[in-house]
Amino acid sequence: MKLKNLYHWTVLVPIIAGIYLLTGLLTDGALSTIGGGILLFGSVLAAVHHAEVIAHKVGEPYGSIVLAICITILEVGLIISFMLSGGEGAVTYARDTVFAAVMLLLNGILGVCIWIGAVKYKEQNYMRSSATTYLVSLVAILVLTLILPNYTSSVRGPFYNESQLVFVSIACLVIYGIFLMVQTVRHRNYFIIEDENHTPHEADPPTRTVTVVSLILLLISLAVVIFMAKGLSPVIESFVADMGAPRALVGVIIASMVLLPEGFAAIRAARSNHLQSSINLTLGSAMASVGLTIPAVSAVCIWFDIPFVLGLDMKSIILLALSVFIVMISLSRGKTNVMYGAVLLVNLAAYIFTVIVP
């Protein structure tokens, strides 16, 4: 993208969508909902474009980190806004959203990336050291935040008391902070693989000005995706209620909207035979989605004295354990094949089916 191309659709769509939101055009009407849906999808595609511009400029693994943190910040904003509104599902909203995001990332996005890459290239290579580093950190954070609350005794139920929330939040931030140091400084080579099919005629990186413009437009696009999803949530809730499905399905649908930009970017990387970039995006986002979201939500809930549930029920724990175990096995060889992707996608189908038919 050149700076002079201000008429480019990736510039116009997020701006038009932002105006659409700010002027109150997003209402309950059918035409308004259809228009909002079109602008939502266009903003997702624009976010992917601007994320790729930034990633091309800063290189891996920094590009993946930028996108993961942007999406996490906006995810936190969405969760907190719903919790402060005090709706029917406010107590479990943070848990349900984070769990849905992790399941969609581990099974859905990673599964599609492995499947598409295997279909096109039969096998794809990646750095095993990166997968191990991601998964060691992710498993610790998942257990501390989503499983351990069920087995503490200071408060009855799947809750943490205030001091426990503070400790777990600090633990998550410490793990994530050390992980970032490992990823970007001490062992940066773990997360980069030399592409044997790299073409010598690859386009030059964008200028600093273009990168800054793309960063601003990325933030606008992601904000539009979040607030459009929130604005369309009553329509989604009515649709789910008409289906007779549990309210938890609403969290799955909204989480999938939030993760669409990252999903598209990861899938495009896999199609270009850059599976390492796909892994960086997917597992890095899972890390950020739990390791940053839970501390941020905990701080707000402590400040406003809002109770919220963290511990998963046994069905969800089993599905989470199965997903993490399959991902560990799938990323243990340094090569992928179509079987790994297929199993992960079946896990995703099982998760969504058991949400709809608990």
Kind plus residue range of the DSSP H or E element containing 341: helix 338-356
Give φ, ψ of 198 to 5 degrees.
-65, 130
Kindly report the pTM of this predicted structure: 0.83
Asked whether the predicted pLDDT for residue 196 surpasses 90, the reply is no
Average model confidence (pLDDT) for the chain?
82
328 in a structural domain: yes
Q: How many domains does the chain have?
A: 1
End-to-end CA distance of the chain: 47
207 falls within a domain: no
Residue type, 355: V
Residue with the bigger pLDDT between 103 and 51: it is 103
Banded pLDDT at 54 (limits 50, 70, 90): confident
Question: Is 5 inside a domain boundary?
Answer: no
In a domain, 143, yes or no: yes
Whether 56 and 63 have beta carbons less than 8 Å apart is answered as yes
pLDDT (0 to 100) of residue 108: 93
Rg (CA), the chain: 20
135 domain residue, yes or no? yes
Helix/strand number for the chain, H first, E second: 13, 2
Q: Does residue 52 form part of some domain?
A: no
Which of 102, 143, 140, 125 lies closest to 283 in space, CA to CA?
102
Contacts of 74 (CB under 8 A, 6+ apart): 222, 223, 225, 226, 258
Domain containing residue 326: CATH number: 1.20.1420.30
In a domain, 261, yes or no: yes
Domain span including residue 320? 71-195+233-356
d(CA 104, CA 239): 21
Q: What is the mean pLDDT of residues 212-226?
A: 83
pLDDT in tens, 332-343: 888 888 999 999
What long-range pairs does 14-23 form, CB within 8 A, spacing at least 24? 14/43, 14/46, 14/47, 14/217, 14/220, 14/221, 14/224, 15/220, 17/42, 17/43, 17/224, 17/228, 18/220, 18/223, 18/224, 21/224, 21/227, 21/228, 21/231
What is the mean predicted confidence (pLDDT) over 233-253?
73
Over residues 69-124, the pLDDT tens digits come to 777 777 777 777 767 665 566 778 788 889 999 999 999 999 999 999 999 888 88
164 domain-assigned:
yes
Q: Identify the pLDDT of residue 35.
A: 84
Average pLDDT over every residue of 138-145:
95
